[in-house]
Structure 1
Amino acid sequence: MSFWDDGRRRNTGFLLNSVLCNVGWFANVLLAAHKHPLWGPAAQVALVFLHVFLVCPLYELDWRGEVVLILASVLYAAVVESFLGYFFPVVPWTVAPPFILALWANFAMCLNVSLGFLKSTSFPWVPAVLGLVFGPVSYWSGIKLGAIEVPHDLMLFMALIAIEWCISFPFLVWLAKSQTPKVESVGTATPEQEA
């Protein structure tokens, strides 16, 4: 048995993904809070490259599928966040700010690795409940750290975010499940070859 067996490789990928995603969240939020809203997205681009070139090989993920998943998540976020900002004056933006889009890209990096277990759960409502609870927690943390300023009606804003993430989290898990196939290992027969 080699030192770099499948379990160690996957555990290393999981740990690296978790670290990259936490660094991404704090970089985007803290830099936006300190009035550098474009530095966080720039850092996020670097983190996506690290994810693609370090985590994807360790986790045997197709890097092209990961890039498509991340870009699709950002596009989805641009539409949803801008929709909320345009139609609900309580949301403090009319067009999704770059650091918010970078946070969605950061979240998408977790979908096949540290949150990958959600793709195989036999309870499809779990991502909806997690989104309902932890979407607002994430935004609340951003508010408390100074990245987001909600001028009035904080409760309505948090309710909108809860609904947004109750819908978005299951959608993104489904997108991850359908978008990112695993890379076939060398010498491993596919189900079609075995038949």
Structure 2
Amino acid sequence: MAKFWNFVFFQAGWFACIIGAANNQVLWPVIACLLYLAIHIWRSEHSIAELKLILKALIFGVSADSLIANLGYLNFQDAWPSPYLSPFWMWTLWALVASTINGSLSWLRGKPLLGAALGAIAGPLSYEAGIRMGAGSWGVHGQLGGLIYLAIVWGAAIPLFFYWHRRHIGTSLEQDQ
């Protein structure tokens, strides 16, 4: 049942952030997502490992999105905290994705090729949906280039997040002994 709710809260958070960004109202969606993430980490069997995974995924995502935007392939609605970084609401979405690794996406554990394929398809489609809902736009280099870069990023992200999770759980189990 926890995996079901993880999926529901991820989807609700995604829609709230996208709709909020499209309407320049991201404060409450971000606060709600951060509250969910705090509860998710607190309830996790390996809280420290879960927090480390979310922080690494956050750094990965902010770096990737900021690079793609600065290369001119993607524009976000809302430039806070900086016009050179992806917006804070996107940071929240990366953290939400990381929260699914040990939750609703756990069925991908041990299947890196399937995870890469899913990431390379679902990641760019998620951005396309967000853009169509008004949370951003394709940059000066157009949609195709942006989708290709996003497919590469997300194709690497999902297997990498599982790898990080496995490493953190192993470290966490060793410290418990």
How far apart are the structure 2 equivalents of 1:26 and 1:67?
A: 23
- Residues 99-158 of structure 1 show CA distances to partners (whole Å, capped at 9, x for unaligned) of 11111001000001111122233xx21111111111111111101111112254112111
2:129 alignment counterpart: 141
Whether the 8 Å CA contact 1:136–1:161 is kept in 2: the answer is: yes
CA RMSD of aligned residues (A): 2.2
Query: Which amino acid is 1:104 matched to?
Result: W
1:98 alignment counterpart: 88
1:9 alignment counterpart: none
Shift >6 Å, 4+ stretches:
none
**Local SS of the residue matching 1:66:** helix
How far apart are the structure 2 equivalents of 1:177 and 1:110?
A: 14
- Aligned ranges 1:178-189 → 2 under 5 Å: 178-180=167-169
The partner residue of 1:50 within 39, 49, 57 is 39
1:128 aligns with 2:111: no
The structure with the largest alpha-carbon Rg is 1
The partner residue of 1:112 within 98, 102, 109 is 102
Q: Does the C-alpha gap of structure 1 residues 48 and 111 become closer, same or farther in structure 2, counting only changes over 3 Å?
A: same
2:19 alignment counterpart: 30
How far apart are the structure 2 equivalents of 1:92 and 1:157?
A: 10
109-118 vs 172-181, greater mean Cα deviation? 172-181
The partner residue of 2:63 within 73, 79, 94 is 79
Give me the identity figure in percent: 26
Q: Number of residue pairs matched?
A: 167
Whether the 8 Å CA contact 1:38–1:98 is kept in 2: the answer is: no
How far is the alpha carbon of 1:52 from its aligned partner? Answer: 2.3
Whether the 8 Å CA contact 1:69–1:180 is kept in 2: the answer is: no
